[in-house]
Amino acid sequence: MTDKNNISKNSPIARYRRYLQLEKSMSANTIDAYLSDVVKLENFLEETGKDSIVAAVDDIRQFFVSLADVGIGARSRARILSSLRSYYGFLRMDEYLTDDPTEGIQSPKIGRHLPDVLALEEIDAMINAIDLSSAEGQRNRAMIEIMYSCGLRVSELCSLCLSDLYREEEFIKVSGKGGKQRLVPLSSRAIEELNAYLAERSHINIRPGCEDSIFISERRGKPLSRITVFHIVKELAALAGIEKSVSPHTFRHSFATHLLEGGANLRVIQSMLGHESISTTEIYTHIDRSRLRREIIEHHPRNKRMKNK
C-alpha cells in the first residue's frame, strides 16, 4: 500500500510534490492534503493491478463510487477530484501521459453551506468565560480577539510572529495560503489584549528557535498547534453556553459577516480575508441575505398579520 510519507524520490508523486513545493509555492499542509488524495487513488488502483499513469476514466469513476460507498460526502469527494485534476494536469505537463482521465468525471453537486456565525454578544461571552487567573488566560483572550478582529485562519494565527507585528502602525502581516502575505489592521481592543499578553509572555521559558512566535504554549514553550486552538475554542463555547457548532473558523466567518452587515465593500472583505477569488467571498452575501429574509419574516407587518390568523 502506498504511503505519502514513504514515496520513492523518483516516482511521479515525488516529482509532483517537488512541483507543488518549488513551482506552486504551496504550504506544507496544502501539499500534504493534495498528496493524501493522490495516495487514496493509488491505493484503490493497486487492488486492480493498475496505477495512476495507466488509469482510465472508468477506473477514476469507480474510485469515486467507492468513496461514496464508504460514506465520503459530496464536499470531500469534490475536494479529492480537485486534487486529482491538479495531479493529472502535472502528469500531462511532465509528459507522463497525454490524456487526462479526470476530464470525464463530473464534480459532485454540493449544496451551498452557510456556516454558523456568532453574534458579537456571543463572542464577548466566550472572551468573558476565560479565566484570567490561569497561566493561559490572557494569552487566550488575545488569541480570540485577534482571530475575530483580523479574520484569521487558525493556521495563520498559529504562525504569527513578533516580527510580523507593527504595533505603532496598528497592522499585522499575515502569511496565508500559498505563502501569500497581506497586511491586516489591528483593532484597538486587539492591541490592548495583545500588549497585556506580551507582558506575560516575556516570563515564559520559550524553546530555542521559537522566540519569534507570538502564541506560545506555557507548558511546552513552543507555538500553539491548530488542534490546541480548536480545543480552547470548543471549551470556551461550552463555558459560554453557546450551542452552535463553534470552531476557530467560526470567528473568521463572523468577522466577514459583521463587516458586510456594517456596510463594508465585498472587495475590502476579500482583501482582508486573503481570498484569491471574489466568488469565495460572495458566500457572505448569501449569509446576509438569509438573515435578512428571517428578519423580514419575523418583523414585516404583513407576515406578522398572517401568523396571527
Selected catalytic residue, list 40, 252, 253, 258: 252
Taking residue 195's Cβ as centre, other Cβ atoms within 10 Å add up to 12
SS (H, E, C) 275-291: CCCHHHHCHHHHHHHHH
The full length of the chain comes to: 309
Report the Cα 294 to chain-centroid distance in Å.
28
Selected catalytic residue, list 177, 226, 234, 291: 177
Q: Would residue 219 show up in a list of annotated catalytic residues for this protein?
A: no
Report the Cα 253 to chain-centroid distance in Å.
10
The percent helix, strand, coil of the chain (3-state, each to 5) is: 60, 5, 35
CA-CA distance, 272 to 146, in Å (whole number)? Answer: 13
Q: Would residue 244 show up in a list of annotated catalytic residues for this protein?
A: no
Q: How far is CA 126 from CA 112, 157, 180, 234, in A?
A: 28, 18, 31, 10
Place of cell 398579520: 305
Selected catalytic residue, list 153, 201, 253, 258: 153
Selected catalytic residue, list 24, 61, 249, 291: 249
CA-CA distance, 23 to 17, in Å (whole number)? Answer: 10
Cell output for 244: 452552535
CA-CA distance, 83 to 86, in Å (whole number)? Answer: 5
CB 174 within 8 A of CB 184: yes
Pairing of strands 181-185, 171-175: antiparallel
Q: Would residue 284 show up in a list of annotated catalytic residues for this protein?
A: yes
- Give me the DSSP letters along 60-77: HHHHHHHHHHTT--HHHH
Bridge partners of 213, per DSSP, are: 161
Return the amino acid letter for 146: I
The residues carrying an active-site annotation are 153, 177, 249, 252, 275, 284
